[in-house]
């Protein structure tokens, strides 16, 4: 690896290599592009480096087709001037200038006389680079341009750290005209090739280095275009890409504008990230979970993202429901944790999934995707009154209900639980799926089967949601039975999961029905689903906002006083934006919109400190410092992450107490609150059935008011304010 490092990037001390702080290799900030099944992670220079973080690369169908793409002028990196991703996330732009070239035997080039503009954008299975050079000096200059390249075809699971006993074989490199072709045949017999084509014939070309010499008179320029094509050939056949034009209809047609420009920037970035995670996907407008590790379909993530965006982009929910209905399990397959009626956890298409090295080709190991699917179905109908679609997936709804009753409660104790069936599958199958995330107060890992706090709430809300659909469809006996079951579960839940000593709901019950008596954010999900007894809500809120659970940047996954607390862990003390959004919506459901607004302000302030205003998948749970510094980032978090991007919209609607009932043609604001960061919120082109409205929500002297600016069609806007 070090053989391909240039001199300016490192120094050596006692034969050890160290990256210079001034080198691009020391900058871990990323620039991300995605289109369909192709995504790329660059550093701010627009390069892909092979040391430092392992997430850099150009990926197609979970294989890394470029593991190195580094540009040099002479032997040195250009001086970075500016780097950005355009607002819709489609184009990376980088401005740079040459550093002084003053080397023996080479022409002297003063620093800053050559400007370099480079850009990159993705199409299906390809990355398109453009380099434009302009000489602003008074003398002609000859440029020695160097590109250092490599393709390791590593599987995404291998990059994340899953060991492999063996790999496939590299193919002999080929040079075809002005193109370099690097190949690999995997253990799945798929030939993966990276074809790197240059618009100008290089001076020299080899596996690792491509050079050009360009002569620039004063005031003139030149350009080089590079197209990197990712090819995967199965049994001698190259599958055609599922091309989707960028002129697809926008998913977000409702605009939200506040009185705060930086708040607006956060909302726009969140919307752009969600659009990027959908555009070009063969599944349609199904948001992939996150880049780089989860750039594929996840059931739980897709459902929660759809719920977060339901009020302003209901078409996402329709696509998510449709795809998950199509992929619903129909047979018992323990190796994939599949059972009839169960909703998908994730789909993978890479080499390790195809060969069975990991079980996630089509994997069903999540206990919550199935009830969440039913919650989304009920919520989607309430938002859209789309009866025809619900009737179309009704058999899937019934199958999901059967799974809950037949497989969700194997010991028939009235609670819904999970246990691992696949040897290679997930041990923990709730949203906190780290192997050490469910434990007792002394730190002992809980024994399966495990009944999670939030899953009981999901089942409760799912049965109520389907009951409302039954009422609409005329299935009155089924409606009554589901409501009875839901109320029985609510009573059992409060008895079994409440802890007087913790003053909140416990994390879970283990296989012996013993409480996992630890303070976690899971209790916020109990509020979200409505299973929590109203009398318990003040205590839950107090616990979630005390100094142990609330970091100042949001609610931690695990309170700081618990045995396994580690603010740098994945699930045991970190802060997740989507987790906070769900808690915020839970507070709003019990009339505590001011607490939702508090969490909205917290997430906004996180956005002010992170690159591009992009909320990451998670960040560390260290307490907020008083020196004005931002939150500590989790080093390998996905960014963008779909449900983190959607958190802004769920928290905003929760703060406003926004409820949309398409069947009744009504928009309601229950006890509305605005965040401290914005005194006005304008919502434009909010569609309810055939009607469309523009709204202005204002806060003056602590009083929030709602004004209808424009109304087209039949819809009623109501505001309800509870007495303090």
Tens of pLDDT, residue by residue over 72-126, are 998 889 999 999 999 999 999 999 999 987 766 667 888 999 999 999 999 999 9
Mean pLDDT of 578-605: 98
Within a domain: 597: yes
Within a domain: 115: yes
Please report the pLDDT score of residue 173 as a whole number. Answer: 94
Tell whether 207 and 335 lie within a shared domain.
no
Give the count of domains, the chain.
Answer: 2
In whole angstroms, give the CA distance from residue 26 to residue 172. Answer: 33
Task: Note down the domain range covering 508.
Answer: 255-670
Is residue 250 very low, low, confident or very high in pLDDT (cuts 50, 70, 90)? confident
More confident residue, 381 or 19: 381
Tell whether 354 and 443 lie within a shared domain.
yes
Please report the pLDDT score of residue 235 as a whole number. Answer: 72
More confident residue, 105 or 484: 484
Tens of pLDDT, residue by residue over 320-350, are 999 999 999 999 999 999 999 999 999 999 9
Instruction: Report whether 623 contacts 629 (CB < 8 A).
Output: no
Please report the pLDDT score of residue 19 as a whole number. Answer: 37
Within a domain: 43: yes
Mean pLDDT of 207-235: 93
Tell whether 194 and 284 lie within a shared domain.
no
- pLDDT at position 24 over 90: no
- pLDDT at position 27 over 60: no
Please report the pLDDT score of residue 533 as a whole number. Answer: 98
Which span out of 62-76, 231-245, 374-388 was modeled with the highest average pLDDT? 374-388
Within a domain: 711: no
Is residue 51 very low, low, confident or very high in pLDDT (cuts 50, 70, 90)? low
Tell whether 179 and 274 lie within a shared domain.
no
Please report the pLDDT score of residue 143 as a whole number. Answer: 86
Domain boundary among 174, 199, 234: 234
- Contacts of 672 by beta carbon, 8 Å cutoff, 6+ apart: 593, 655, 656, 657, 658, 697, 704, 706, 719, 721
Within a domain: 48: yes
CA 223, 224, 227, 228 dihedral sign is negative
- pLDDT at position 17 over 70: no
Tell whether 580 and 656 lie within a shared domain.
yes
Within a domain: 676: no
Q: What is the mean pLDDT of the chain?
A: 93
- pLDDT at position 245 over 70: no
- Cβ-in-10-Å burial (0-12, 13-18, 19+) of 246 comes to exposed
Structure tokens at 461: 């809300």
pTM (two decimals): 0.93
In whole angstroms, give the CA distance from residue 58 to residue 122. Answer: 10
Q: Which of 13-22, 296-305, 314-323 has the lowest mean pLDDT?
A: 13-22
Structure tokens at 71: 């540009």
Tell whether 212 and 288 lie within a shared domain.
no
Is residue 248 very low, low, confident or very high in pLDDT (cuts 50, 70, 90)? low
Structure tokens at 369: 């995707």
Please report the pLDDT score of residue 18 as a whole number. Answer: 36
Tell whether 261 and 221 lie within a shared domain.
no
Within a domain: 657: yes
- pLDDT at position 444 over 60: yes
Mean pLDDT of 148-157: 96
Tell whether 260 and 371 lie within a shared domain.
yes
Domain of 502: which CATH number? 1.50.10.10
Structure tokens at 546: 């005390």
Please report the pLDDT score of residue 242 as a whole number. Answer: 45
């Amino acid at each position: 690896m070090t053989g391909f490092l240039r001199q300016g990037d490192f120094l050596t001390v006692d034969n050890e290599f160290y990256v210079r702080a001034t080198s691009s290799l020391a900058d871990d900030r990323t620039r991300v592009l995605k289109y369909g099944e192709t995504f790329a992670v660059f550093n701010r220079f627009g390069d892909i480096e092979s040391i430092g973080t392992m997430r850099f690369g150009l990926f197609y169908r979970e294989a890394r087709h470029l593991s190195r793409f580094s540009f040099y002028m002479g032997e040195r990196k250009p001086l970075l001037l500016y780097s950005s991703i355009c607002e819709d996330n489609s184009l990376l732009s980088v401005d740079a200038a040459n550093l002084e070239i003053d080397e023996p035997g080479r022409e002297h080039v003063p620093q800053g006389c050559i400007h370099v503009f480079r850009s990159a954008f993705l199409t299906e299975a390809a990355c398109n680079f453009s380099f434009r050079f302009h000489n602003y000096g008074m003398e002609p200059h000859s440029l020695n341009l160097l590109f250092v390249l490599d393709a390791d075809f590593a599987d995404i699971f291998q990059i994340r750290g899953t060991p492999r006993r063996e790999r496939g074989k590299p193919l002999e490199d080929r040079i075809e005209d002005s193109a370099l072709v690097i190949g690999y045949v995997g253990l799945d017999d798929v030939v993966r090739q990276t074809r790197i084509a240059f618009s100008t014939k290089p001076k020299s070309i080899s596996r690792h280095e491509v050079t050009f010499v360009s002569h620039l008179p004063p005031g003139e320029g030149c350009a080089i275009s590079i197209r990197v094509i990712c090819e995967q050939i199965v049994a001698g056949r190259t599958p055609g890409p599922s091309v989707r034009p960028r002129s697809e209809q926008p998913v977000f047609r409702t605009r939200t504008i506040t009185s705060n420009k930086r708040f607006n920037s956060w909302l726009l970035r969140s919307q752009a990230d969600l659009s990027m995670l959908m555009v070009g996907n063969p599944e349609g407008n199904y948001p992939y979970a996150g880049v780089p590790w989860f750039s594929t379909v996840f059931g739980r993530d897709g459902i929660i993202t759809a719920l977060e965006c339901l009020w302003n982009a209901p078409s996402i929910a329709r696509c998510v429901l449709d795809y998950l209905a199509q992929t619903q399990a129909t047979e018992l397959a323990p190796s994939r944790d599949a059972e009839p009626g169960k909703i998908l956890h994730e789909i993978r298409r890479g080499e390790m999934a195809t060969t069975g090295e990991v079980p996630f080709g089509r994997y069903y190991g999540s206990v919550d995707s199935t009830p969440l699917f039913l919650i989304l179905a009920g919520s989607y109908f309430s938002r859209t009154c789309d009866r025809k679609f619900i009737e179309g997936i009704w058999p899937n709804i019934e199958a999901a209900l059967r799974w809950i009753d037949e497989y969700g409660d194997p010991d028939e104790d009235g609670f819904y639980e999970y246990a691992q069936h696949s040897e290679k599958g997930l041990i923990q199958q709730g949203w906190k799926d780290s192997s050490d995330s469910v434990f007792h107060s002394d730190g002992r890992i809980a024994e399966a089967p495990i009944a999670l706090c939030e899953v009981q709430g999901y089942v409760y809300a799912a049965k109520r949601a389907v009951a409302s659909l039954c009422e609409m469809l005329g299935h009155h006996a089924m409606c009554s039975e589901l409501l009875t079951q839901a109320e029985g579960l609510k009573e059992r839940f409060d008895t079994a999961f409440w802890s007087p000593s913790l003053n909140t709901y416990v994390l879970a019950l283990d296989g012996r029905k013993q409480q996992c008596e630890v303070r976690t954010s899971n209790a916020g999900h109990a509020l979200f689903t409505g299973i929590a007894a109203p009398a318990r809500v003040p205590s839950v809120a107090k616990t979630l906002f005390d100094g142990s659970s609330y970091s100042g940047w949001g609610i931690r996954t695990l309170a700081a006083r618990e045995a396994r607390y580690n603010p740098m862990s994945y699930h045991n003390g970190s802060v997740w934006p989507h987790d906070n959004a769900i808690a915020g919506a839970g507070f709003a459901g019990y009339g505590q919109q001011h607490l939702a607004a508090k969490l909205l302000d917290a997430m906004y302030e996180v956005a002010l400190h992170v690159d591009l205003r992009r909320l990451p998948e998670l960040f560390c749970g260290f307490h907020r410092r008083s020196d004005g510094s931002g939150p500590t980032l989790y080093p390998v978090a996905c960014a963008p992450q779909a449900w983190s991007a959607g958190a802004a919209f769920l928290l905003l609607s929760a703060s406003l107490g926004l409820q949309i009932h398409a069947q009744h043609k009504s928009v309601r604001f229950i006890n509305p609150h605005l965040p401290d960061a914005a005194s006005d919120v304008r919502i434009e082109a909010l569609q309810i059935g055939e009607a469309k409205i523009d709204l202005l929500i204002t806060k003056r002297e602590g009083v929030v008011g709602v004004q209808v600016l424009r109304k087209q069609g039949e819809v009623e806007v109501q505001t309800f304010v509870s007495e303090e």
